[in-house]
Structure formats: C-alpha cells, structure tokens
Amino acid sequence: MVHGLEEIHRLLKPDASLVDIHPIPIAPLIEVYQGGRLVFAEPVPAYDDEDERAAEDALAQVLQRRLFVVEREAAFDFLTYGSSVAQLRDFLVEQSAFAGNGESVRKWEVERAEFARRVEEIMRAAGEGAEVAFHERGRITRLRRI
C-alpha cells in the first residue's frame, strides 16, 4: 500500500490533493432494526482487521515521510442493509467484506453460521419488517501532496 501511495505522489502535480477512504480497524457491527429502532447490535465474530491496519500504517508512513500533509479528516458510519441475514451475507461475500485463509476461514464459517442463526432468530422475534445491517466505521482524509 505504501508503494501505491508513493506512485500517486509521483503522478500528482505539486499541491494537488488525494482523497483516501478506508474502514477504521475495528470490528463492524451487525445490527437489527425494527421500525427504525435498534433492537440488536453485536460485533462481527472472528473479524480480521489486517487490511484496515495495513491501510492505516501505509498512510502513517507517507505522512511521516512528508510526502503528503493532512488537509482534512473525518470519520463516518457506513451501513449496508438487508431484509434477511442471507441477503446481507450474500452481498458481503460478493463484496469480499470478510477475508482470511486456512484455519481462520473454517473458524469464521462455523462462527458465522451460529451467529447468523442467532441474528435470524432476533429478526423473527422483532417481527415483520425487521432489517439487518452491517455497520462499519470509515475514515475519509484529504491529503495534499508536498
């Protein structure tokens, strides 16, 4: 990731800006809403934040090397809704929201299945019209090339 930021620095004109957007390295939440009211929230089990930490580290490195300076930064919430756990899970798998390999993937599959069953039960108990959401925190940073 540092190499990519170095390449962007090389390609940008002096005093040009770059906007970096990436998830904050904390476990996202699975939330259940009924009528706009939050009825359940719990962190995603077996969440691997390695990619998010790598993005944060790469940004810190190029800032330390004074390739860029932060002009502005903010955190934001990003929610992806589904009408069922299966619909949300299928979307997230397509979007590669969950990463890992080997034993961690097998562990995640087992924990995800148990977690999904629990969330589905909560949605049924909440009644018709309940929605499930994948709630991530993100960071947006405008960087000026030095």
Q: Which two tokens stand for residue 139?
A: 């960071």
Rounded to the nearest integer, the mean pLDDT of the chain is 88
Percentage of the chain beyond pLDDT 70 is 87
User: What residues contact residue 63 under an 8 Å CB cut-off, 6+ apart?
Assistant: 69, 70, 143
Q: What pLDDT score does 46 carry? A: 78
- Give how many domains the chain has, as a whole number: 1
Q: Indicate the SS3 state at residue 143.
A: strand
Q: What pLDDT score does 100 carry? A: 46
Provide the 10 A C-beta neighbour count for residue 103: 8
**Average of per-residue pLDDT across 83-110:** 64
pLDDT: which is higher, 110 or 80? 80
Interval 1-60: pLDDT, tens = 999 999 999 999 998 999 999 999 999 999 999 999 999 999 988 787 888 999 999 999
The domain of 24 spans: 2-145
**Nearest Cα to Cα of residue 118 among 53, 19, 45, 9:** 45
Q: Put residue 72 in one of left, alpha, beta given phi > 0 → left and psi -120 to 50 → alpha.
A: beta
User: For residue 112, what pLDDT band results from cuts at 50, 70 and 90?
Assistant: confident
**Average of per-residue pLDDT across 93-120:** 64
